[in-house]
Structure 1
Amino acid sequence: METDAISIRTPEINWTPASSIYGESVLHDGKEIVFIKQLTNRLEKGKGVSYLIKFIPPEAKIIRTVAVARSDEHVYILEGGHCYRNGEQRLFPGDYVLNPEGHPHANLANIETVALVICTGATDDVKEITVIEPKP
């Protein structure tokens, strides 16, 4: 049994473009819009994964992510937030979301957003990351 604590200085970790994981589908006009900082990956030990995710939407646009949780996914908004389809903000820094295993879900970000994501097992099965227009 592993009993040592894991300490990470997150400012010293580089943001990794999400295109390195999901391919060019997460680029917008050839530009990176989603980034990840891997904190832990303990899947080989039957444990989970933790990471920071950053969304940088193009001006006046929304990044839409559609996924299915492959394990319980805990999301804590650190900066920015998620919005409704019309662009009105609905989640703010300090807000928390639990997507239980098997839960299909989506998030919309129209402002730069950073969240801490902790999965109790495998990460989400991401179906789509696209840029959309706000709906009035």
Structure 2
Amino acid sequence: MSLHPIMASSEQIPWTAGSQALGDISLFQDTETVHFKMLSDRRSEGGGMAQIVRFSPPAGMLIKIVANARSDEHIYILSGGHGDKSGRQRLYPGDYLLHPKGLAHGAFLAIETTVFQVYSGEPDELVDFKIVAIDG
């Protein structure tokens, strides 16, 4: 196999609706709540993938995600952040997360959040994805 660098200009890559990958669970009242830009996908070569993901929860709601890591998942928060079920922000732009392969994990997103996400292999197994009211 010949190795070569993969370069992508994220500004030139259009946002893809999350429902194309997740199905209707990412829709809230027919509005997309997740969009992504695939930067690289080397899974067919035994590698991983990298993408930019934007989560847009509706006002007064949060996106609740529960997943199992099928490979190491690296997340760097570009804007917004992760919170708790009350909507209180816990992670901020510039924060980094690593979910090692095999880890069951979750996220609560109450504000528009954009992340750079890298998987060392296959992406997470999605256990649950819901849009729920914020527990005030």
Per the shorter chain, which TM-score range? over 0.9
**Structure 1 unmatched runs, 5+:** none
Could you tell me the TM-score, scaled by structure 2's length? 0.96
Q: Which amino acid aligns with 1:47?
A: G
Amino acid at match of 1:103: L
Deviation by residue 1:94-118 (Cα, 9 ceiling, x = unmatched): 0000001111111111111000110
Which 5+ residue runs of structure 2 have no aligned equivalent?
none
Q: Deviations over 1:80-100 (max 9, x none)?
A: 000111111000000000001
The match for 1:80 is: 80
SS of match in other structure, 2:89: coil
Aligned length: 136
- Report the Cα offset of residue 17 of structure 1: 0.7
Structure 1-normalised TM-score? 0.96
> Structure 1 residues 96, 2: closer, same or farther in 2, change over 3 A?
farther
Structure 1 position 63, deviation (Å): 0.6
| Shift, 1:2, TM fit | 3.8
1:53 aligns with 53
- CA-based RMSD: 1.0
What is the percentage of aligned positions where both structures have the same residue?
Answer: 37
